[in-house]
């Protein structure tokens, strides 16, 4: 038996390696935070966990004994998290649909694509975070200014992937479909959309994170609710543990949404051979 096969990550022990890496990082963080100067800037993992626990389980056991410095358990995380998730999901859905529609349209309309090309590149090159004050002026400080900002981040990721996916359709496949009498709608349904699907899902994994970014940045610039608002309030009081707790909560839910996208992708992309199956062929 080769000992390197046990040490080297494989499909069986990959999860163990991943959890082990997380444990090493947390232990190193905890050890470093024993220095008060480091703890002031980097926080303490146990207290960060306490913040998260107090948000979701405000009537849990042993909190005062474990965390004598007190916990902000009065923050209604469900209201704040619900607002941020609503903004994220709306931006994710609207941005994806708009990116899909405009990507298909311009990929199949060369004249319109040539005319709009410089304007699309200019809009994509713009640092879209600077639009947040304008959206706040247009839509107010409610959820729609955050949704609008996040949509601008999601849209271009999906748009360029759909556009490229349609452009990558094999001319041979198109010629064969036309020889079989496929009209424009049939080509769209049976050739262009399947070709763009894999590109769409690859963009959606990135879009989930960007939708959260847009929502949280919008909450930073003007809001009375949301996880971004909680983080901003914690920064104002130099409460770095609560800042990291908010980051942990946002990261966890971003991973959850990304996992849902991955499951939908596996269900809809069963027809596509996996890399291992492709190598065998």
Domain of residue 147, CATH code? 1.10.3720.10
Would you state the structure tokens that stand for residue 143, as one six-digit string? 């959820």
Same domain, 20 and 150: no
Same domain, 203 and 95: yes
Same domain, 92 and 225: yes
Give pTM, 2 decimals: 0.77
Could you tell me which of 239, 265, 281 has the C-alpha nearest to residue 70? Answer: 239
Same domain, 87 and 184: yes
Instruction: Give the span between the Cα atoms of 159 and 138, in whole angstroms.
Output: 24
Instruction: Give the span between the Cα atoms of 240 and 244, in whole angstroms.
Output: 6
CA distances from 231 to 137, 173, 218, 222, 263 (A): 23, 52, 12, 13, 31
Position 67 in a domain: no
Dihedral (CA of 118, 121, 122, 123) sign? positive
**How confident is the prediction along the chain (281 residues), in pLDDT tens digits per residue?**
455 455 666 667 788 888 888 899 989 988 988 888 888 888 888 888 888 888 887 554 444 433 444 434 445 788 888 899 999 999 999 999 999 889 888 888 888 888 998 998 888 888 888 888 888 888 888 889 999 999 999 999 999 988 888 777 767 766 777 777 777 777 777 777 777 777 777 788 888 888 888 888 888 887 778 888 888 888 888 888 888 988 899 889 888 988 888 888 777 666 555 544 444 44
Residue 164, SS3? helix
Same domain, 130 and 237: yes
Helix (H) or strand (E) holding 251: helix 240-268
Same domain, 161 and 24: no
- Report how many domains make up the chain: 2
Same domain, 224 and 255: yes
What is the C-alpha radius of gyration for the chain, rounded to an integer number of angstroms?
24
Position 281 in a domain: no
Position 93 in a domain: yes
Instruction: Give the span between the Cα atoms of 24 and 5, in whole angstroms.
Output: 22
Instruction: Give the span between the Cα atoms of 47 and 65, in whole angstroms.
Output: 12
Same domain, 49 and 109: no
Instruction: Give the span between the Cα atoms of 203 and 214, in whole angstroms.
Output: 16
Instruction: Give the span between the Cα atoms of 80 and 41, in whole angstroms.
Output: 25
Position 28 in a domain: yes
End-of-domain residue from the set 33, 60, 87: 60
Same domain, 24 and 141: no
Instruction: Give the span between the Cα atoms of 28 and 213, in whole angstroms.
Output: 28
Do the beta carbons of residue 230 and residue 216 sit within 8 Å? no
Same domain, 40 and 87: no
Same domain, 200 and 244: yes
Residue-number span of the structural domain to which 172 is assigned: 77-270
CA distances from 276 to 25, 76, 84, 198, 200 (A): 32, 47, 39, 17, 22
> What phi, psi does 118 have (nearest 5°)?
-65, -35
Position 132 in a domain: yes
Q: What is the total residue count of the chain?
A: 281
């Amino acid at each position: 038996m080769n000992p390197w096969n046990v040490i080297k990550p494989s499909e069986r022990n990959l999860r163990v390696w991943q959890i082990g890496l997380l444990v090493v990082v947390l232990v190193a963080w905890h050890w470093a935070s024993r220095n008060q100067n480091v703890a002031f800037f980097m926080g303490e993992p146990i207290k960060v966990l306490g913040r998260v626990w107090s948000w979701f389980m405000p009537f849990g056991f042993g909190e005062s004994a474990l965390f004598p410095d007190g916990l902000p358990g009065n923050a209604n995380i469900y209201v704040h998290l619900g607002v941020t998730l609503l903004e994220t999901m709306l931006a994710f859905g609207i941005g994806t649909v708009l990116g899909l529609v405009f990507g298909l349209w311009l990929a199949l309309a060369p004249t319109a694509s040539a005319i709009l090309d410089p304007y699309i590149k200019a809009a994509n090159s713009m640092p879209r975070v600077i639009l947040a004050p304008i959206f706040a002026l247009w839509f107010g400080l409610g959820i729609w200014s955050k949704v609008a900002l996040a949509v601008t981040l999601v849209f271009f990721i999906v748009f360029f992937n759909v556009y490229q996916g349609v452009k990558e359709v094999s001319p041979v496949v198109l010629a064969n479909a036309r020889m079989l009498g496929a009209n424009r709608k049939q080509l769209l349904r049976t050739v262009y959309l399947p070709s763009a699907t894999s590109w769409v899902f690859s963009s959606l994994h990135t879009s989930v994170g960007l939708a959260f970014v847009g929502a949280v940045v919008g909450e930073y610039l003007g809001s009375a609710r949301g996880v971004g608002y909680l983080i901003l309030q914690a920064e104002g009081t130099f409460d770095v543990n609560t800042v990291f707790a908010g980051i942990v909560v946002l990261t966890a839910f971003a991973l959850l949404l990304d996992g849902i996208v991955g499951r939908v992708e596996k269900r809809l992309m069963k027809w596509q051979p996996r890399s291992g199956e492709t190598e065998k062929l």
